[in-house]
């Protein structure tokens, strides 16, 4: 809403700088009510005869003042409902001491309805109670004073004019609030679903990144190291040995890539998934590392462990051997897997502290991937120097989340 420049003022309980612009529908209601009331006034139709004792302002012209004021209140029924109600009550009081106009009474009921529907929550709670109390009072008091059945009609009239529109406004407001709450819940559900989808996509991308790195990095590191040796040494035997290792790692890396691409392309949910590495394959993994030039000793006493733990342990050992191939100095690399009470302890130690730089470039994603694998299982991973050794140690819980205790 556009506002004019100037100091703010309090209007209908809120800060404003000028009167709010009436809603178009409110303008139609006010105009129609005013014209209808003038029409009834023009034909001389009032709600009370001029001789009735309550009529203190006889004549036709006094009828127009409360009619015009109530029509003006209709302009504020939505923008300033409390102000409109208080003003309309004063106009209705004035209307009762004239011959009255039926349209003034009808517009007053609409102002009460709008005050409950568009007003503050406090007004929506209080107005129906006050209207009900007035209706009961207007029923009991006249009957107690006059002791005639016709006195009960006063309470009925007050109930029709005040309690009925207030109750209707409260019912409509409650339905509107319930619909708004349902809409907000639907939007929140859609937002949560989108967040879940985004998190699922992100988690899947991270998983595939780990798999791709762990499957290919070992072979590519060996290729880079042995190709460097073949280029730097002018020895046919050494070059032939290096080329043999390069070819073996190229073939194995290509097979791993094809397996990963097959997993990504496979959209058949009933097809058996491709076999994933297990701890039974550690022997072949160590043999490959030895063929690449590492002096590796494997010590395992792990027994049977859950499949997710097997995969994580295998990948951690694989990445640790790859890092040892790129960074470790001459000496023995030790791989040990030990089953503890409720966890699998994985430890890989390699010589540390001799080289000035790696034998093959690295991205630093290996340690991140290993730590992510351990964290996803609720375990821990630490990697760092330990005297003359560089040690990677992972503790992987055997009781996964959701398993019975």
pLDDT in tens, 137-146: 999 999 899 8
* Domain 278-399 CATH assignment equals 3.30.70.20: no
pLDDT band per the 50, 70, 90 thresholds, residue 356: low
Give CA–CA dist 19/298, Å, rounded: 85
Give CA–CA dist 239/204, Å, rounded: 41
The pLDDT of residue 315 is 87
Whole-model pTM: value is 0.57
SS3 percent helix, strand, coil of the chain, rounded to 5, is: 60, 10, 25
Report for 129-143, 200-214, 311-325, 389-403: range of highest mean pLDDT: 129-143
- With CA atoms as reference, report the closest residue to 389 among 346, 334, 345: 334
Inform me whether the pLDDT recorded for 120 exceeds 90: yes
- For 172-187, what is each residue's pLDDT tens digit? 999 999 999 999 999 9
DSSP letter at 379 equals: -
Handedness of CA 350, 371, 310, 219 (dihedral sign): negative
Range(s) of the chain covered by CATH 3.30.565.10: 278-399
Choice between 405 and 127, residue whose per-residue pLDDT is larger: 127
- What phi-psi label fits residue 277: left (phi over 0), alpha (psi between -120 and 50 degrees) or beta? beta
- For 18-77, what is each residue's pLDDT tens digit? 666 889 999 999 999 999 999 999 998 888 887 777 778 888 899 999 999 999 999 999
Lowest mean pLDDT among 91-105, 111-125, 380-394: 380-394
Residue 369 CB neighbour total at 10 angstroms: 22
Averaged pLDDT score across all residues of the chain:
83
Inform me whether the pLDDT recorded for 391 exceeds 70: yes
The pLDDT of residue 363 is 54
**In contact, 46 and 99? CB cutoff 8 Å:** yes
């Amino acid at each position: 809403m556009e506002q004019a420049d100037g100091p703010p003022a309090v209007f209908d309980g809120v800060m404003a700088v000028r009167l709010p612009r009436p809603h178009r529908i409110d303008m139609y209601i006010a105009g129609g009510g005013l014209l209808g009331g003038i029409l009834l006034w023009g034909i001389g139709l009032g709600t009370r005869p001029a001789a009735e004792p309550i009529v203190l302002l006889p004549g036709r012209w006094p009828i127009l003042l409360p009619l015009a004021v109530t029509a003006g209140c209709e302009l504020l029924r939505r923008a300033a409902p409390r102000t409109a109600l208080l003003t309309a009550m004063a106009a209705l009081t004035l209307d009762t001491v004239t011959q009255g106009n039926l349209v003034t009474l009808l517009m007053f009921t609409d102002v009460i309805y709008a005050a409950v529907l568009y007003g503050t929550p406090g007004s929506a709670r209080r107005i129906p109670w006050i209207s009900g109390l007035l209706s009961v009072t207007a029923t009991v008091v006249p009957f107690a004073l006059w002791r005639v059945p016709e006195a009960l009609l006063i309470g009925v009239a007050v109930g029709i004019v005040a309690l009925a529109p207030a109750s209707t406004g409260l019912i409509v407001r409650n339905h509107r609030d319930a619909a708004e709450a349902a809409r907000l819940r639907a939007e929140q559900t859609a937002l949560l679903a989108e967040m879940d989808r985004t998190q699922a996509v992100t988690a899947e991308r991270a998983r595939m990144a780990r798999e791709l790195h762990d499957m290919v990095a070992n072979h590519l590191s060996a290729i880079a190291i042995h190709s460097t040796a073949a280029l730097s040494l002018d020895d046919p035997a050494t070059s032939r040995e290096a080329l043999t290792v390069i070819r073996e790692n190229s073939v194995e890396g290509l097979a791993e890539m094809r397996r990963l691409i097959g997993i990504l392309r496979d959209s058949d949910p009933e097809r058996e998934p491709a076999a994933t590495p297990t701890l039974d394959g550690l022997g072949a993994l160590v043999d490959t590392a030895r063929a690449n030039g590492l002096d590796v000793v494997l010590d395992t006493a792990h027994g049977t462990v859950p499949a997710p733990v097997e995969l994580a342990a295998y990948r951690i050992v694989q990445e640790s051997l790859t890092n040892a191939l790129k960074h470790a100095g001459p000496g023995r690399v030790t791989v040990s897997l030990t089953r503890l009470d409720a966890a699998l302890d994985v430890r890989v130690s390699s010589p540390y502290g001799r080289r000035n730089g790696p034998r093959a470039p690295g991205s630093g994603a290996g340690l991140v991937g290993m730590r992510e694998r351990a964290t996803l299982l609720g375990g821990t991973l630490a990697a760092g120097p330990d005297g003359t050794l560089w040690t990677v140690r992972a503790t992987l819980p055997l009781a996964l989340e959701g398993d019975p205790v």
